[in-house]
Amino acid sequence: MKIIKRIEHDTLGEVAVGADKYWGAQTQRAVENFTIGSRKMPFEIIEGLAYTKKAAAYANCSLNVLSEEKRNLIAAVCDEIIAGQLTEHFPLAIWQTGSGTQTNMNVNEVISIRGEVLRSGSSDPKSRLLSPNDDVNKSQSTNDVFPTAIRIASTKLVFTKLIPAIENFLKTLDKKVAEFKDIVKIGRTHLMDATPLTLGNEFSAYKAQIDNGLRVVKAALPHLMQLPLGGTAVGTGLNTPKGYDHTAVMFVNQFTGYNFTNCPNKFEAMASHDAMVEMSGALKQLAVSLMKMANDIRLLASGPRCGIGEITIPANEPGSSIMPGKVNPTQCEALSQVCCQVIGNDVAITTGAMQGHLQLNVFMPLIGFNLINSIHLLSDILNTFNAHCLSGIKPNRENIKYYLDHSLMLATALNTHIGYENAAKIVQTAHKNGSTLKEAAVTSGLVTAEEFDEWVNPQKMV
């Protein structure tokens, strides 16, 4: 089958492009020059660029530097992009120039060519009303619009996906804290027996950690929502009409429904990406908390006969291809792997963000991809772990009571009555002889049976 081509051109000359493609010469060069990996630029960034281009067109028109006809054409194509109707026309890999120029031009070219198809039905370069550089990219540089797109994309994901997932997770933890509030169990420090607490106390720590994670995510949003739009090449706003930056951000808010602000120092927002580092740090904190929780749950659920077994978790799948009847903590393992990946993403973001040189950081595709990836992963795992593990956790009261009754650390309650050293001798004797704590205490002559029952009461120790 013969592939029909059309000839596009840029400042380097002519390039053949598939006739059914809405991209132009610069995109085609990038397709051929950046054959790196299989991952494409995330759609969320493309969508963020579409919001940015639409807002820029409206700002330029309102400031009398772009016609209404061109504005409307640009906006119409941007709406198609946002609706996910043109995704096959954004073929570029993540791994390209560090400013994201190729993807910015990909969006500019698609808007230009698709705009002409909407206007006249033709993709002929000679008839195009919209220039990708002079019209679609008017008052813009990749250096300000690409970080703007990442901020729009990640902000939208945090609001629509991550925060709801965290809040639903917290609701389940609330229920578990209430459900387990009166179940007294033995505590463990250094993985060794410690004084009692309730299972509700134990789960309240997880809830507090996730509460704190939600707080830091929300606290990172105001910085992330400062847009450098209007800074153009280095932050000065060269080639923009007066008032463009504030007007463009106003239109971004109108089209997205969020309250982005104009970055107070565009030089900072383009030469560095500390706002993304801050949000990634919040995601890392959440991942650290979730990893701790996952480790605890799989330890507490270990068994069923030769582990701790103080809780049971849902049996979602057979756990072994060779050991019949085995059930594994698969959701804990999936959660742990996601946490490792998010922490790894944070390392990549941190490394990329500290590579800013002079007026521009050129690690933006790396930073944007990893930030978006982390938000997606955390949101998804919070939802799946909540549905398939956390909500189905039940206490194993028999095991909890057994460990509580046989713990030697209940002797801690004797400290204030007979002193630490005497209590330690009782513990050592009980452990050596295999007797109960009460038997060793009474045998020592330091405590009567009645005193022991009064002083060593786990219900009063929590």
Buried b (16+ CB within 10 A) or exposed e, 155-191: bbbbbebbbebbeebbebbeebbeebeebbbbbbeee
Tell me the C-alpha distance between 80 and 61, whole Å. 20
Handedness of CA 115, 121, 124, 126 (dihedral sign): negative
Q: Which of 320, 357, 406, 431 is labelled catalytic?
A: 320
The two structure tokens encoding residue 340 = 């490792």
Nearest to 6 by CA among 16, 162, 369, 387: 16
Cα distances (Å, whole numbers) of residue 92 to 15, 96, 116, 326? 16, 8, 22, 45
Which helix (H) or strand (E) segment holds residue 423: the answer is: helix 420-433
Q: Are 249 and 259 in contact (CB under 8 A)?
A: no
Tell me the C-alpha distance between 394 and 33, whole Å. 56
The helix/strand/coil state of 168 is: helix
- Residue 458: cis peptide before it, omega within 30 degrees of 0: no
The yes-or-no answer on residue 320 being catalytic is yes
The yes-or-no answer on residue 190 being catalytic is yes
Nearest to 86 by CA among 112, 114, 109, 58: 114
- Supply the residues annotated as catalytic: 190, 320
